C-alpha cells in the first residue's frame, strides 16, 4: 500500500552512531523499558519521582489509583496523592541547587527579529518571585485562578511560574482570541486576576491586547464576574491615557485606555517587591492549570491538569521524545496559549534544565529563512514545529533553508496534526540533511504529553506514522461495537490504563468529562480519533471521529463556528465542516441557509467571515461560505456533517443515507458544487 505516493514500507532506521548517544539506544532497549513501564507502573514512575524534591513523602505512597469504568463508580485518577511538592521549585530552585543558575533558561526573539533577550535560571527565579509577591499583595492566594492573555513573551512564562509558586491556578488564553472568547474563559475558570500586555505584533499586524482585555472585562462586569485587577506588561511601550487626565503631548502615539481603579503596570506591580517568595507546598493532586480546548457542544472545555503527575510526565516525555542531553538548546514554534507549549516550552524543558528559544513571531517574517537563521545564531539542537508550518515552509523551496548551515541540529520533531509523508521527507532530507531523526508524536490537550511517538535513536521511523506507544501508555483499537482488535487493525483509538499526565476532569463539569471520554467505551479513555495499527505495531492516525476541526493545529468545534456564523442576521442556519487543505491540514467550509431577502454577495461573505473572526479568533475564519436552500438532516433533525464533508470533496460515495429526511437535498448540494453557484 502507498501513502500519498510513498510506499508504506518506507522505513528509516536509526543511525548507529546516533543511537550510541541516545537515552534509549535500540528498539530492543525500548521494548524492555516499555514492558517494565506497563507491567510495573508503580516501580517505573516511583523511579522518575525520585528525580524531584518532595516536601512531604508519606511512608506508604499509593503511586496511582484510578477508575475508567463508569459502571463501577465515578471516573477518577490520582497519582502520588498525599505527597507534597511545588512545581516552580522543581523547575527552578532545584536546578539552581544543581549549579545551573547561570545557564540560560530562555532566549527570546521579538516578532521582527530585531530584539533578542536572554534570562538565566537565577534571573527567572528572581522575576518569578517578584511577580508572585505582587500577586500576593493583590490578595491572590492558593487555589485562586489567574487568566493570562499575552503573546509569546518572557513575561507570560514568568506569570505562569508565579502562579505555580504561590499555588494559584493559571489559565493561559491564546492571544488570537477575541474579547468574547477571553471573557468566556475568565468567567468559565472563575479568574480573579488578569495579566495581559499593552499589545503585540504578529508579522505586520498589530494585536491590541489591552483593548481586547478591556472589552472582555466589560463583558465580565455585565455578567457579574469581578476581576480584582489587570496587570499590564508594557511590551510595546504604548502610550497610556488615564481616562481622567488630559494628554497634552503633541506626538501622536498608539494609545491604550488606562483605568487606575483596575489597571496596574507590570513594572509598578513588581517594584520594591522582594527577590524571593517562599513556595507554597501543594498536594500532588492539587490543580496546576486549567487550559481551554474546544468541545463538541460548542462550549470550550476547561481541561484540568494537576501538579505531581504532570511534573513527572512533562519531564520524562521531554527527555525521551527529544533525546534531550544536558546543555541542548530547544526551539519550538508552539504558542504558549496551547498545550504543546505548556509541556514543551515551559514545564518539560525547565524540569530538565534545558535552554529554550521563545519565538514571538511568525516563521516567515521578516524573511523566509527566519527559523534557520535563528537555529544557526543560537546553536539550536532540537527543533519542534507543526506540520502546517512545515508545509508552509516548503512553498518557499529549499534555497532559504540551504543558505544556513543548521549543523547544530540533532533532532527534528512535529506534532499537533497528521503529518503527510512528503512534508516528513522534506523536513528530514532538506532541513535535517538526512542526518537528523524526525520525531512524529500523537497527543492531546487532555493527555498532557505525547502518548504515541517515535524515539530518536531507538525506534524505526515511517513517514506519516506516529510510531509506538510511550512508556506507561497502553493503547488499543476498538471496532464499532467496542471490541478490542488485535494485530493489524483499523478503528477507534483508546487508552486502557491511566498515565500521570492525563487530565483529571473538565473544570466544574465532571459529568461532561465522563460523558466525553469514558461513556462511549466503558473502561477506556476514548480519544475521539480513528487510527490504524500496521503489522509492525506502528500507529497511523485517521483523523477526528467527532465534529471537531483541526485547523493549523488549532482544535475548533463545529458548533463554535456555527454559533458565531449563525448569529449573523442574514443566516438562518449554518453547518461547518473541515475540508483538506495543502498547508493548514484542514480548512473550514461553512454551509448557510440564508434568511429571506438576503443573497450571498461578496460583501455578505466578508461580513460573515468577520463575524466568526471577531467572535472566536482569526484561526476560526471560514475559508469558504456556501449558500444552500436546505441542510442535509436526519429524520430526527440532526445535521449530517459527514454528507457535507463529502460534498466539499465532490465525493459521491455517501455510504448509508437511510436516516436522511430528504435525499433530494443531496442532489442540490452537488449541483451547486458543480455549477459553482453560491460558493465563495
Distance between CA 676 and CA 670 in Å, rounded? 10
Cα atoms in the Cβ-side hemisphere of radius 13 Å centred on 141: 1
Question: Can you read off the three cell numbers belonging to residue 75?
Answer: 471516573
Question: What CATH number does residue 285 fall under?
Answer: 3.40.50.980
Mean pLDDT, the chain, rounded, equals 91
pLDDT the model gives residue 421: 84
Residue 439 is assigned to a structural domain of this protein: no
Distance between CA 34 and CA 479 in Å, rounded? 25
- Choose the final residue of a domain: 255, 289, 323: 289
Distance between CA 75 and CA 514 in Å, rounded? 7
Confidence band (pLDDT; 50, 70, 90) for 295? Answer: low
Residue 144 is assigned to a structural domain of this protein: yes
Length of the chain measured in residues: 680
Q: Which structural domain, as residue segments, surrounds residue 584? A: 548-675
Residue 599 is assigned to a structural domain of this protein: yes
Residue 107 is assigned to a structural domain of this protein: no
Question: What CATH number does residue 598 fall under?
Answer: 3.30.300.30
Residue 417 is assigned to a structural domain of this protein: no
Cα atoms in the Cβ-side hemisphere of radius 13 Å centred on 312: 26
Confidence band (pLDDT; 50, 70, 90) for 248? Answer: very low
pLDDT the model gives residue 166: 99
| Omega within 30 of 0 (cis) for the link into 366 | yes
Confidence band (pLDDT; 50, 70, 90) for 665? Answer: confident
- Average pLDDT on 357-365 reads 93
- Write the secondary structure of 291-339 as one string of H (helix), E (strand) and C (coil): EEECCCCCCCEEEEEEHHHHHHHHHHHHHHHCCCCCCCEEEECCCCCCH
- Choose the final residue of a domain: 270, 289, 308: 289
Residue 254 is assigned to a structural domain of this protein: yes
- Average pLDDT on 237-255 reads 54
Percent of the chain clearing pLDDT 90 (strictly above):
73
120 has pLDDT over 70: yes
- Choose the final residue of a domain: 269, 289, 309: 289
Residue 604 is assigned to a structural domain of this protein: yes
Beta-ladder partners of 452? 442, 469
Could you give phi then psi for residue 252, rounded to 5 degrees?
A: -85, 125
pLDDT the model gives residue 518: 98
Could you give phi then psi for residue 419, rounded to 5 degrees?
A: -100, 120
Collect all residues with Cβ–Cβ distance below 8 Å to 112 and sequence separation of at least 6: 201, 361, 365, 366
Residue with more model confidence, 447 or 397:
447
Confidence band (pLDDT; 50, 70, 90) for 395? Answer: confident
Collect all residues with Cβ–Cβ distance below 8 Å to 132 and sequence separation of at least 6: 162, 163, 165, 166, 277
495 has pLDDT over 70: yes
Compute CA distances 313 → 445, 466, 658, whole Å: 13, 18, 46
Domain count, the chain: 2
Residue 173 is assigned to a structural domain of this protein: yes
Burial of 246 (C-beta count, 10 Å sphere; 0-12/13-18/19+): exposed
pLDDT the model gives residue 500: 99
Compute CA distances 225 → 193, 216, 219, 551, whole Å: 11, 11, 9, 32
Amino acid at each position: 500500500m502507498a501513502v500519498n505516493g510513498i510506499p508504506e514500507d518506507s522505513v528509516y532506521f536509526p543511525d548507529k552512531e546516533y543511537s550510541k548517544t541516545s537515552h534509549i539506544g535500540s528498539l530492543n532497549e525500548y521494548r524492555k523499558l516499555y514492558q517494565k513501564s506497563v507491567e510495573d507502573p508503580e516501580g517505573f514512575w516511583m523511579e522518575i519521582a525520585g528525580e524531584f524534591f518532595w516536601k512531604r513523602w508519606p511512608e506508604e505512597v499509593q503511586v496511582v489509583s484510578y477508575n475508567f469504568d463508569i459502571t463501577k463508580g465515578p471516573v477518577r485518577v490520582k497519582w502520588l496523592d498525599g505527597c507534597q511538592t511545588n512545581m516552580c521549585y522543581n523547575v527552578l530552585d532545584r536546578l539552581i541547587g544543581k549549579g545551573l543558575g547561570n545557564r540560560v533558561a530562555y532566549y527570546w526573539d521579538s516578532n521582527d527579529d530585531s530584539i533578542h533577550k536572554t534570562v538565566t535560571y537565577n534571573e527567572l527565579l528572581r522575576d518569578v518571585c517578584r511577580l508572585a509577591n505582587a500577586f500576593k499583595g493583590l490578595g491572590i492566594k492558593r487555589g485562586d485562578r489567574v487568566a493570562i492573555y499575552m503573546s509569546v513573551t518572557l513575561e507570560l512564562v514568568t506569570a505562569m511560574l508565579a502562579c505555580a509558586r504561590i499555588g494559584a491556578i493559571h489559565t493561559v488564553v491564546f492571544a488570537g482570541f477575541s474579547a468574547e472568547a477571553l471573557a468566556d474563559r475568565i468567567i468559565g475558570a472563575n479568574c480573579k486576576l488578569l495579566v495581559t500586555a499593552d499589545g503585540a505584533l504578529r508579522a505586520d499586524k498589530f494585536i491590541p491586547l489591552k483593548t481586547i482585555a478591556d472589552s472582555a472585562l466589560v463583558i465580565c462586569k455585565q455578567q457579574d464576574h469581578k476581576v480584582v485587577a489587570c496587570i499590564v506588561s508594557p511590551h510595546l511601550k504604548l502610550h497610556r491615557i488615564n481616562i481622567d487626565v488630559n494628554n497634552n503631548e503633541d506626538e501622536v502615539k498608539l494609545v491604550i485606555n488606562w483605568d487606575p481603579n483596575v489597571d496596574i503596570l507590570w513594572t509598578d506591580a513588581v517594584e520594591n517587591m522582594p527577590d524571593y517568595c517562599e513556595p507554597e507546598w501543594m498536594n500532588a493532586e492539587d490543580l496546576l492549570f486549567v487550559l481551554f480546548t474546544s468541545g463538541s457542544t460548542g462550549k470550550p472545555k476547561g481541561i484540568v491538569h494537576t501538579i505531581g503527575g504532570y511534573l513527572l510526565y512533562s519531564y520524562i516525555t521531554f527527555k525521551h521524545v527529544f533525546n534531550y542531553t544536558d546543555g541542548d538548546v530547544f526551539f519550538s514554534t508552539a504558542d504558549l496559549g496551547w498545550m504543546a507549549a505548556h509541556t514543551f516550552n515551559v514545564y518539560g524543558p525547565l524540569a530538565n534544565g534545558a535552554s529554550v528559544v521563545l519565538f514571538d513571531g511568525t516563521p516567515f517574517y521578516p524573511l523566509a529563512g527566519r527559523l534557520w537563521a535563528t537555529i544557526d545564531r543560537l546553536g539550536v539542537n532540537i527543533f519542534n514545529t507543526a506540520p502546517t508550518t512545515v508545509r508552509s515552509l516548503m512553498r518557499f523551496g529549499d534555497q532559504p533553508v540551504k543558505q544556513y548551515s543548521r549543523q547544530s541540529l540533532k533532532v527534528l520533531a512535529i506534532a499537533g496534526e497528521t503529518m503527510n509523508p512528503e512534508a516528513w521527507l522534506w523536513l528530514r532530507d532538506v532541513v535535517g540533511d538526512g542526518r537528523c531523526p524526525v520525531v512524529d508524536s500523537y497527543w492531546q490537550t487532555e493527555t498532557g504529553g505525547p502518548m504515541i511517538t517515535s524515539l530518536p535513536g531507538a525506534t524505526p521511523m515511517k513517514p506519516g506514522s506516529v510510531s509506538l506507544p510511550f512508556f506507561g501508555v497502553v493503547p488499543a483499537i476498538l471496532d464499532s461495537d467496542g471490541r478490542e482488535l488485535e494485530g493489524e487493525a483499523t478503528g477507534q483509538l483508546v487508552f486502557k490504563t491511566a498515565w500521570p499526565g492525563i487530565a483529571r476532569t473538565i473544570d466544574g463539569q465532571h459529568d461532561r468529562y465522563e460523558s466525553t471520554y469514558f461513556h462511549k467505551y466503558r473502561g477506556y479513555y476514548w480519544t475521539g480519533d480513528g487510527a490504524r495499527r500496521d503489522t509492525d505495531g506502528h500507529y497511523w492516525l485517521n483523523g477526528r471521529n467527532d465534529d471537531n476541526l483541526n485547523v493549523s493545529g488549532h482544535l475548533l468545534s463545529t458548533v463554535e463556528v456555527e454559533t458565531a456564523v449563525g448569529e449573523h442576521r442574514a443566516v438562518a442556519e449554518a453547518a461547518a465542516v473541515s475540508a483538506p487543505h495543502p498547508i493548514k491540514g484542514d480548512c473550514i467550509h461553512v454551509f448557510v441557509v440564508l434568511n429571506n431577502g438576503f443573497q450571498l454577495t461578496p460583501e455578505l461573505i466578508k461580513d460573515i467571515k468577520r463575524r466568526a473572526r471577531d467572535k472566536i479568533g482569526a484561526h476560526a475564519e471560514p475559508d469558504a461560505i456556501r449558500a444552500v436552500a436546505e441542510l442535509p438532516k436526519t429524520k430526527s433533525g440532526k445535521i449530517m456533517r459527514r454528507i457535507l464533508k463529502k460534498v466539499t470533496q465532490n465525493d459521491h460515495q455517501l455510504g448509508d443515507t437511510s436516516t436522511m429526511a430528504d435525499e433530494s437535498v443531496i442532489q442540490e448540494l452537488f449541483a451547486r458544487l458543480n455549477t459553482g453557484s453560491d460558493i465563495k
